[in-house]
Amino acid sequence: MKYLLVIMLSLFGFSKSNAQAKSIHGFKVEALDRSTIDFSKFKGKKILVVNTASECGFTPQYADLEKLYKTYKNKLVVVGFPANNFGAQEPGSNKEIATFCQRNYGVSFPMAAKISVKGSDIAPIYKFLTDKKENGVKSSTIGWNFTKILLDEKGHVIDSFESKTNPMSESITKYLK
C-alpha cells in the first residue's frame, strides 16, 4: 500500500524533493584561488550571491558589497561569482579577477571561480538559484552583472534584486536587522 501511494504521488508530480525546497548548502564550488567554497559551512547565516564583473558600470558595488559583508558578518556571507555573460565585462582570468578585487576594493568575502550565470552553459548553482523547479521558491532572471540573490539561514532563496539595487539598500538590509 505504501509503495502504491508513492507511485501515485510521483505520477501527479509530488515528491519529497518538490515538496521541500532544496538548499544551497549542498553545493561546493571552486574559488578564485582554486580552493573550495563549501556552502554547507554557511548554515545559520544568510547568503547574498552576486554575479560580478570587473569592467561594468556597477563594478563600484564591490565597495558596498564589502561594507555589507563586514557590517553583517555575524549573520551574512556575501559570495561573488564572476561571469562574462554580459557585454564581455569580465574578460580576465581567475588570478586577474582576484588581483583586481583585492587591489581596487579590498574584497575579503568569498569569490568563486568565473562561471556562466545564464544560457546553455549555466553553472549548476545558478540553475538552482534561478529556477523555481530547482529551488522550490521562485524563478529569477539574471538580467545583468551584479544581480543579487538572498538566501535564508537554511539555504533557501528569499528574494532577488536587480543590478541597480545597492547592496546597502533597505530592500536588502531589512532582512538582516
Instruction: Return the active site residues.
Output: 56
In a domain, 104, yes or no: yes
In a domain, 26, yes or no: no
Q: Tell me the CATH number at 42.
A: 3.40.30.10
As for how many domains the chain has, the answer is 1
In a domain, 42, yes or no: yes
In a domain, 149, yes or no: yes
pLDDT in tens, 17-68: 333 458 999 999 999 999 999 999 999 999 999 999 999 999 999 999 999 9
Helix intervals (H) in the chain: 2-11, 16-19, 61-71, 94-105, 124-130, 132-135, 170-173
Please give the Cα distance from 148 to 92 (Å, whole number): 21
Question: Would the pLDDT of 4 be above 80?
Answer: no
In a domain, 1, yes or no: no
Dig out the grid coordinates for 79 from the structure.
559570495
Nearest Cα neighbor of 49 from 71, 22, 68 is: 68
Domain that holds residue 40: 31-169
In a domain, 101, yes or no: yes
Model confidence at 1, pLDDT cuts 50, 70, 90, reads low
In a domain, 176, yes or no: no
In a domain, 174, yes or no: no
The residue-averaged pLDDT of 78-107 equals: 97
pLDDT in tens, 118-161: 999 999 999 999 999 999 999 999 999 999 999 999 999 999 99
Dig out the grid coordinates for 27 from the structure.
553545493
